[in-house]
Structure formats: C-alpha cells, structure tokens
Amino acid sequence: MQDITDAPFWRVMTRYGGPDVYYTEYFRVHQDSRPERHILAAIEENPARRPVIAQMIGQDIPSLVRTAEWLQKRAIAGIDLNLGCPAPIVCRKEAGGGLLRNLPKIDAILRELRGAVHLQFTVKTRLGYDRPEEFPALLDVFCAHAIDALTVHGRTVREMYGPVVHYDAIAKAAATMPCPVFANGNVRDVDSARRITEITGAAGLMIGRGAIRNPWIFQQIRDAAEGREPFAPTRVDLRAYIEVLHRETCASAMREEGQVGKMKKYLGHIAPGLGGEDTFWRELRPALTLRELFAICDRHLAEPLPLDMPVLPETQMVGMMM
C-alpha cells in the first residue's frame, strides 16, 4: 500500500508473524521513471526473508519492460502489474484501474511483460472500471497470457473502497483461471478470512488495510488453519502495537509534525469504529502533538478488553497518495 508498506512497516509486520509473500508498493513506470529508492530499500532489506513481489503501475510498454528487466536483477520472486489503483490522477493517464477501459492495451502489455519476465509474473486487478459485468471479458484476456497468479480486489474502480465486495466475481475467477487466484477486499480477521476463502474458493488471500488494524492477522489465520487457538489481542495489545509502529517507522530525525502525520496515517485505519460513536478517531484527528496523540490512545486502550475487528469503514481518498 502506497505510503504504508515500506521497509519499516514490513519490519513491524514480521514481528507479528507477517504474510507468506510481501508485495511492494507500486513502482510508478513511465518514460523517464527510475525505480523509487524507498521501495527498493524494502526489497533489499526484506526483513522477513520471505518472497517479495515488486509491483509496477504504468501503461508505456517499453518502459514497463525496461523496469521489469531492471527489477529482475534484484532479490525478488516476481513482478506484479497493478490494474486496480482508482486514483483519478492515475486513471486519467490510463494506468492502474484506468487500463480496465482498454482491454486491447492490457492484452498487449501482458504479452510483452510475460515475454520479459522470467520470474513469477502476476496481476492485481479490480472487476472492471464501471460495472462488475465487465469482469468476464477481462478474465478472457488474463487467461490468454500464462500469468502465474491473479489477485482480484472484488470491486470496480467506480466502487473505490465502498461497502460492497463482489465475492461471487472472485469465485468466478477462481473457477475459470488456470493459475491460482487470490481474493482481496475486507479480510480483517479469522472469521472473514475463513468465510471469504470458502465462498470464493480462492487459493489465497491478499490482505491490505486489515493488516494495519490487526497485525496479528497472518499468524491468526495460520494458527486457525493448523488447529491452534489464534491469539486474541486486547486493547492493551493494540496500544503496545501502536508504540511499536511509532518506534519502527518514525525516525528520530523526523520533525514532530511529520511523526504525528505519519501516525495518523496508520491510526486512520486502526481507530475508526473502535469505541462507541467513533470517539477514539474523532479525538485523534485534531491532535497536533505526539503527547496528545498517545494520551488519547492511553485513554481508549487502557483496559484489557477483547479487540473486536469491526467492518472496515469506507476508506476516505482525501489526502491519500496513490
């Protein structure tokens, strides 16, 4: 996730068990692009020593091929193409989710990239641009290119991060594609992971925002699958995790204002829905100092109460860098 899943954040996830495979934020690819250094740093550090897939976004075929060739000289397991980013600035350039309106272009990109990528070559897509009914034609294009895995975020571009995820469409992909399909969208705890795996028949899950809120999620899913009782975090555990996030991701050289901004980026995915009438998040939003911010966390997370994982609130795009 842009501006979230950098090397320090991966380090935090690793402490709590972490996923089996890590995907980078997307590298922006165009004629003059050079792979961003902070994303390369995550690949180089690879704190979990688990497979890393480097994700690219763009539509200029020679630049995508050039970047894929360059990235394959680094310690990665594969390359992923982003066909899902809904940010208007990205879609206007016909990249990310914007490409979903141009199937012949996707076809050409996949043909060239499949030829250029000797490692795993995977695709992350939404269901279409305007309507989920666009998805079957898209699947036909994916089927034609021997990709190694397909991750399906079960929303259209227009649906952004709205309340509905079309798991039936992910099930259709899992039944149709000759490669493994990973389901994505609103996996937030063991129950949702189990339910989404069951109804989609997906070979695996990709987890985004759910991991920011619940870093235990990967180990919880592993434990449940292997018959062990998953760890049940309390509010006190969440408070300790917020401390770890701060320690690992906010370099001491960073000005306090920057640290508060960075912590709010995470807390915007953690706090909403926690605490009656959203008081936790409503109090956090105007906080200006770290002292204020942590005092609010202390107030709301002092009791060892079980931590429910409420349905993910609709992600606001305002101020999001994608």
Ligand X SMILES: Cc1cc2nc3c(=O)[nH]c(=O)nc-3n(C[C@H](O)[C@H](O)[C@H](O)COP(=O)(O)O)c2cc1C
Q: In the complex, what is the shortest distance from the CB of residue 184 to ligand X, in angstroms, rounded to a whole number?
A: 5
CB of 82 closer than 8 Å to CB of 56: yes
Residue 208 CA neighbour count, 13 Å, CB half: 19
Q: Would you say 124 or 166 has its CB closer to ligand X?
A: 124
Distance separating alpha carbons of residues 148 and 113, to the nearest angstrom = 12
The dihedral over CA atoms of 64, 69, 70, 75, expressed in degrees to the nearest 10, equals: 120
Active site residue 179: no
Return all residues near 49 (Cβ < 8 A) that are at least 6 apart: none
Q: In the complex, what is the shortest distance from the CB of residue 51 to ligand X, in angstroms, rounded to a whole number?
A: 16
Q: Which residue is nearest to ligand X (CB)?
A: 208
Q: In the complex, what is the shortest distance from the CB of residue 131 to ligand X, in angstroms, rounded to a whole number?
A: 18
Return all residues near 286 (Cβ < 8 A) that are at least 6 apart: none
Q: Would you say 47 or 96 has its CB closer to ligand X?
A: 96
Footprint on this chain of ligand X (rule: CB under 6 A): 1-2, 4, 25-26, 55, 82, 84, 124, 153, 184-187, 207-210, 312, 315, 320, 322
Distance separating alpha carbons of residues 34 and 318, to the nearest angstrom = 27
Q: Would you say 6 or 134 has its CB closer to ligand X?
A: 6
Q: In the complex, what is the shortest distance from the CB of residue 170 to ligand X, in angstroms, rounded to a whole number?
A: 12
Q: Would you say 1 or 77 has its CB closer to ligand X?
A: 1
Q: Would you say 48 or 57 has its CB closer to ligand X?
A: 57
Could you give the C-alpha distances from 181 to 33, 49, 166, in angstroms and in order?
Answer: 30, 23, 15
Q: In the complex, what is the shortest distance from the CB of residue 256 to ligand X, in angstroms, rounded to a whole number?
A: 23
Q: Which of 85, 179, 250, 297 is catalytic?
A: 85
- Of residues 222, 231, 230, the one with CA closest to residue 20: 222
Q: In the complex, what is the shortest distance from the CB of residue 118 to ligand X, in angstroms, rounded to a whole number?
A: 22
Q: Would you say 155 or 305 has its CB closer to ligand X?
A: 155
Length in residues, the chain: 322
227: left (phi over 0), alpha (psi -120 to 50) or beta: left
- Of residues 217, 222, 278, 215, the one with CA closest to residue 243: 215
Distance separating alpha carbons of residues 279 and 41, to the nearest angstrom = 37
Active-site residue numbers?
85
